[in-house]
Structure 1
Amino acid sequence: MTAINALRTSTSGLNAQAQKLAGISNNIANSSTVGYKRVDTQFESLVLEGTSSGATALAGTAAHNRVEISKVGQVQSTGIDTDIAVNGNGFLVVNEESASGGKYLATRAGSFRPDANGNLVNAAGYYLQGVQLGADGLPVGNMGDNNLESLTTVNISNTSVASSPTTQMTFWANLPSAETAYASPPPDENSFVSSVDYYDALGTSQTLTYRFTPVVPATTGTDNTNQWILQVFDSATGSSTEATGTDHLVGSVQLEFWPASAGANLAGTLKSVSDDTTTYTSDGTGASTTAASTTVLDPATWGQSGTTDAKGLYDPKTGKLTLKVGAGTTGLGTTTDLPISIGPLDSISGVTQLAGSYTPVKVEKDGSAFGLLERVSVQDDGKVIATFSNGQSRAIYQLKLAVFPNADGLNPVRGDAYEMSREAGAVRLLTAGEGAAGTTSGGALESSNVDIGTELTNLIETQRAYSSNASVVRTADQMLEEATNLKR
């Protein structure tokens, strides 16, 4: 190798080490950048010519910077609901424009915040993309799962309120068995009353009032009747101010329970009853009167008798009493069927008559009142969950993760995002946690994959290599100077 070649080779070394230094400086500068992927510098030797005998003409080295896209960083919790980190394989899909008319990009920089219009946008100005879900939890639209055009910008201001009507209710209570014995005066008819709120189609809170009245014998020395009258009153039906006013009555059925002699498996549960009439006192004065609604109905037609004022339809197999509620102040408005589970016959699951006090043991209902959006969070499966002030929550978007055969083949662009390229392979959109896709973590971010200790070590090595190449340049220069001085 001549001195000229040595000079050129060392110069290429200086350029290569300078390029590596640029990558190191960029890594150190972005050591705290969310989702940043470090630059790794690789070197290759250059040969101008070579022969089969091994003679070569060396020409130095060249440096190539590669971004370590597939190398993940540490996931750290931030406590901010709209921050998103990807655990494992895959990228969040973003768009340069909020209207999804721009270029789709992949990123793992998940520091998203709502803008003035409610669109989730990260620190680099890219808009988060997802599949919009309807109130039923199903995707809005019909496009394929692997189609980028099926994605839309995640917007949280379009889901500001929510309400849903009550469509089912459960009311189980234990009725004190001693109350169906003879008593003078008998128990007041309002001794065993409970109220349960429900929601109509507009999200307005209404109230059902349950009143249990024991059927007591007319004379002393008679066995307990083990019978009760259940009346249900609806605040959305009728206009009287009293909750148990007759114009509010929407349900009226008679219940009979198995006595203790029926054995442990039946005692205290609802039983089939015979067709007769009983008497009970409703005015609290001790006078026994026969009430029209006390006709004991056949189990197959409870609540359907045309000869009594019984209301509601009871199904002894399912144990549900279906009432028509919401008839308005006149009682002639549009009603809604509301099935209420009070328990099937011969079952401990439902209304019972056992020793002890009157106790509602299970009260459940669905539906919700009017509510405002309070927060948005992201689950492990990529669902964006909206939580409302009424305590209800539902999924409003499904995030898809972009998965590539060769993620390192993506083209880096500004803002720690990547363009999809032929070298990366065809993109697949997968639900988080399925197949090759990783999971998503809400309230967390992926930190830079840069290790400061490694970069400082590389910095020292680069400095030494640069200095060594510079020494070769000085030596080659001295040799050329000596050759020039030979003619003197």
Structure 2
Amino acid sequence: MAFQQGLSGLNATSKNLSIIGNNIANANTYGAKASRAEFADMYANAINGAGGSPIGIGVNLASVTQRFTQGNITTTESGLDLAINGNGFFMLDAGNGSRVYSRNGQLQLNEAGFIVNSAGQKLLGLAQGNTNGTDPVPVRLPTGGIQPQQTTSIEMEMNLDSRVGPPATTPFDFTDSTSYNNATSTTVYDSNGREISLALYYVNVAPNVWDVYATANGTDFNAGAPIVDDLTMLSDGSGIDTGVSALLNSFAIPAIPLGNGNSTEPIANIDLDLTGATQYGSPFGVTNLNPDGYAYGTLIGVNIDKNGIIKATYSNGESQEAGQLLLANFRNPQGLQPLGGNGWAETYASGNPLRTKPGEGNAGLLQSGALEESNVDLTAELVSMITAQRSYQANAQSIKTEDQVLQTLVNLR
């Protein structure tokens, strides 16, 4: 009697319902991928005689495959959350030399400064200063501060008013505003990162000719002499007359008392770049005043751009690259082995991982402050559940019918 077919149908449909239930259970799991059951019919013999019409003996579950299609991307409030828009997997160090591959970008910093997932597995990428390599290591952010940098140059763009003449009072005295035409200020830093307020004063000494004086923390450190002597502008106002101007390209700031028994460290050389200066018949204005150097800063945030470059930002306004993330691609993602915990392991069927920087080759781009949702289509899964339920009922009915036929035969006596 044909109980075999109905029984195999019940087993296969039961497994299909388990797969559908698992999909529905993970509809809200970030980075999860839906699975589907693939069935195959069964026959008692593989080779049939000519013109034979064999009757199948049922169905079996041939395989369970996952659909690695893109899930929707939703924004979050965490800057360490990452979504992959396109192909690829995050690489994670699971310990003991093993690696896990995941699409779930729910990440955080651990106490040692490593970027990890909720299971404590470390995110892999390229270390700071080695972003041209391909050998991934656990990404570790600098948990300490950024060391101060002494100012060595100042870049300026400004317009000097060609309509003005020499100031009413001479010689220059920074305490007397009638002894200079205009002034501006900026902050420079010594080797310990201590701030020094640098004021620059512009004095017209003749048509198209200017002197530039400076003070540091209110101290005339250059003994009343200009740090730029006879800066000569072109008569059309378009820039500096380099053939005439006696531009002093650098100056030094000695140790400046701080008023508490301490003093700043001397700065031996600061290059002053005035090549962006103009002299037109319009008011004085500074459009760019950009000294380098900065004070000591503590880590306040981390940002990861679409190409996986990690930038650490500090309390002093500076930022530094701290490495770059890598993605892994596989020739056959269907061959990956699900491990649970939103992770997969490579297998012989999947092939070796191809490590790629985000945005290169067929690797997708990253989106910071976002997560990839599950690609489970809840509506489709519910419809599939109804279909599987009907299939289960039909297979059960075939067994019931066979039982009734068998009972009729038993009663023939």
Please report the TM-score for the alignment, with normalisation by the length of structure 1.
0.75
Q: Could you tell me which of 84, 87, 95 is aligned with 1:86? A: 84
Ranges in structure 1 where 5+ consecutive residues have no aligned partner: 216-223, 236-241, 274-297, 304-313, 315-320, 344-348
Q: Does 1:52 align with 2:44?
A: no
Structure 1 partner of 2:399: 473
Aligned pairs (5 A) from 1:192-341: 192-215=182-205, 225-235=207-217, 242-247=218-223, 251-258=227-234, 262=235, 266-267=236-237, 269-271=239-241, 299=245, 302=246, 314=248, 321-325=249-253, 335-341=267-273
Question: How far off is 1:466 after superposition?
Answer: 0.6
Aligned pairs (5 A) from 1:159-174: 159-174=144-159
Change (3 A) 1:356 1:405: closer
Question: How far off is 1:122 after superposition?
Answer: 1.8
Q: Could you tell me which of 343, 352, 364 is aligned with 1:426? A: 352
Question: How far off is 1:124 after superposition?
Answer: 3.9
Cα distance in 2 for partners of 1:25, 1:13 equals 18
Residue pair 2:157, 2:277 contacting (<8 A) in 1 also: yes
Cα distance in 2 for partners of 1:184, 1:166 equals 33
Cα distance in 1 for partners of 2:403, 2:288 equals 95
- Give 3-state SS (helix, strand or coil) of 1:51's partner: coil
Residue pair 1:403, 1:428 contacting (<8 A) in 2 also: yes
Residue pair 2:113, 2:140 contacting (<8 A) in 1 also: yes
Change (3 A) 1:334 1:392: closer
Cα distance in 2 for partners of 1:449, 1:119 equals 29
Q: Deviations over 1:151-187 (max 9, x none)?
A: 2222335354354333431234433445436958898
Change (3 A) 1:171 1:473: same
Question: How far off is 1:341 after superposition?
Answer: 1.3
Structure 2 partner of 1:461: 387
Question: How far off is 1:15 after superposition?
Answer: 0.4
Q: Could you tell me which of 303, 308, 325 is aligned with 1:399? A: 325
Cα distance in 1 for partners of 2:141, 2:104 equals 19
Cα distance in 1 for partners of 2:94, 2:390 equals 43
Larger deviation: 64-73 or 79-88? 64-73
Q: Deviations over 1:74-104 (max 9, x none)?
A: 111113111111111111101113xxx4411
- Give 3-state SS (helix, strand or coil) of 1:15's partner: helix
Aligned pairs (5 A) from 1:334-413: 335-343=267-275, 349-352=276-279, 354-413=280-339
Question: How far off is 1:447 after superposition?
Answer: 0.7
Question: How far off is 1:358 after superposition?
Answer: 3.9
Q: Deviations over 1:391-443 (max 9, x none)?
A: 22222120101011111111110112111111111211101001111111111
Larger Rg: 1
Change (3 A) 1:449 1:249: farther
- Give 3-state SS (helix, strand or coil) of 2:57's partner: strand
Change (3 A) 1:133 1:476: same
Question: How far off is 1:73 after superposition?
Answer: 1.2
Question: How far off is 1:225 after superposition?
Answer: 4.6
- Give 3-state SS (helix, strand or coil) of 1:231's partner: strand
Cα distance in 1 for partners of 2:336, 2:361 equals 21
Structure 1 partner of 2:174: none
Change (3 A) 1:77 1:337: same
Change (3 A) 1:56 1:180: same
Cα distance in 1 for partners of 2:107, 2:73 equals 15
Residue type matched to 2:302 in 1? Answer: V
Q: Deviations over 1:99-141 (max 9, x none)?
A: xx4411111011111223332222344321111113xxx44xx
Cα distance in 1 for partners of 2:75, 2:324 equals 21
Residue pair 2:169, 2:179 contacting (<8 A) in 1 also: no
Cα distance in 1 for partners of 2:320, 2:182 equals 37
Cα distance in 2 for partners of 1:190, 1:103 equals 70
